[in-house]
Amino acid sequence: MRKAFLITATSLAVLLAAGSLSAHHSWLLDRSKLIALTGTATRLEFANPHVQVYFQVKDENGATDTWQAGGPSPNQLARGGWTRDTIKPGDEIIVAGYRNRDGAKVVRFDSVTLPNGQVFSGYRGR
């Protein structure tokens, strides 16, 4: 009885962990087209598991949309020179990356260009 309980509990734990890992790494990106968005930064979340940049982009009609750009972990970005203060609210930034295929205003960023022209890569070694 105890052995059956342990097997069932272990199997359940593995299935739950696998589902969460799958959801966590489910970037559904359109890698056929790198896009560049210019906007005003509203927030930088320099936290695990992935850094997130939120910014406002004006469309062709002048309406403002909020976009989210996700990247690697803070540790990986810090090795490339990023800090919690790399992007400040109000900064005019250019985010280059790959958009989610589902049409959401979400990109996986490849690089971010700051107001002074400095380009920060999302990935070390690029």
Residues paired with residue 39 on neighbouring β-strands, in sequence order: 93
Q: Does any domain span residue 10?
A: no
E strand segments, the chain: 29-45, 52-58, 64-70, 92-100, 106-113, 119-121
Statement: residue 109 has pLDDT above 90 = yes
Domain that holds residue 102: 29-121
Q: Does any domain span residue 1?
A: no
The amino acid occupying position 62 is G
Q: Which of 10-14, 116-120, 122-126 has the highest mean pLDDT?
A: 116-120
**Residue 86 burial class via C-beta count within 10 angstroms: exposed 0-12, middle 13-18, buried 19 and up:** buried
Q: Does any domain span residue 81?
A: yes
Average pLDDT of 73-97? 94
Label residue 93 by pLDDT band (50, 70, 90): very high
Q: What is the CATH number of the domain that holds 77?
A: 2.40.50.140
DSSP 113-125: E-TTS-EEESSTT
Average pLDDT of 99-123? 91
Q: Which of 2-6, 8-12, 13-17, 96-100 has the highest mean pLDDT?
A: 96-100
Q: Does any domain span residue 68?
A: yes
Q: Considering its fold, how many domains does the chain have in total?
A: 1
pLDDT tens for each residue of 48-61:
999 999 999 998 89
